[in-house]
Amino acid sequence: MARIRPVIFGFSILTLAGAIATLGTQTAGMVAPSDQMRVLATLFNALAPMLSPLSSAAGAKVLMPIGGEELALGIAPLIAWAAAGVAIGLMSRDGSEAATASLALASLTYILWLGLALLVLPSTGAAIPWGSYLDMVVSRILVSTPLDFFSIYIIPTILSATTTSLYQKATRPRIQEKPIERRRIWDY
């Protein structure tokens, strides 16, 4: 259980940052969804802008498919990924655990976004047809802006491993070395 906590905490940071960034977006399209589907739509809206942190930082707008809004988020997704990486680093015991948790976080985010898109978009009657949206976003991430895809893996992994290393050095008890006593030949 201890190994999953950094991933859950990092995912919570990403979700909270995404929810704050997409606060005014619609969770219902042409069809009124149930309350549970609204919760899933809110989670989907929170994860959608987290998939393109470098493009957002460069000024590209993020398309929200349910209501059709375009959001300019700036460096907020990049900061969210960096904060998640630092948090994972502080919660991990060693560098390999931090790197593993960061890679799991990026994979979990991408897979959960894809699963929610398949579940939420057809149920809410989104402004953009769900098949077109998935095709557009996946081709954008993998073909047009592949650095976004790599950055969600690289940024938290490097920051978490670095944070863990620095934290371990800062908290490691210092061993006081005794001065070397010079012995004379007759002491042996």
Q: Is residue 133 part of a domain?
A: yes
Q: Is residue 173 part of a domain?
A: no
As to burial, measured by CB atoms within 10 angstroms (0-12 exposed, 13-18 middle, 19+ buried), residue 126 is: buried
Average pLDDT of 164-183?
78
pLDDT of 31 > 80? The answer is no
In Å, what is the CA distance from 176 to each residue of 83, 104, 166?
A: 35, 39, 20
Q: Is residue 178 part of a domain?
A: no
pLDDT of 186 > 70? The answer is no
Q: Rounded distance, CA 165 to CA 160, Å?
A: 9
Q: 66: helix, coil or strand?
A: coil
Q: Rounded distance, CA 81 to CA 102, Å?
A: 10
Q: Is residue 185 part of a domain?
A: no
H or E element, residue 127: none
Q: Is residue 20 part of a domain?
A: yes
Q: Rounded distance, CA 188 to CA 183, Å?
A: 8
Identify the pLDDT of residue 88: 94
Q: 121-162: per-residue pLDDT in tens?
A: 787 777 677 778 888 888 887 788 889 889 999 999 999 999
Please give the share of the chain, as a percent, with pLDDT higher than 70.
93
Please give the share of the chain, as a percent, with pLDDT higher than 90.
33
Q: Is residue 149 part of a domain?
A: yes
H or E element, residue 63: strand 62-63
Count other Cβ atoms within 10 Å, centred on residue 176: 5
Identify the pLDDT of residue 159: 94
Q: Which among 50, 25, 30 has a CA at the least distance from the CA of 123? A: 30
Number of domains in the chain: 1
Q: Is residue 188 part of a domain?
A: no
Average pLDDT of 7-17?
93
Domain of residue 20 covers: 5-167
Identify the pLDDT of residue 44: 87
Residue 128 CB contacts under 8 Å (≥ 6 apart), including other chains: 63, 65, 68, 136
Tokens 């863990």 correspond to 164
The pTM is what? 0.82
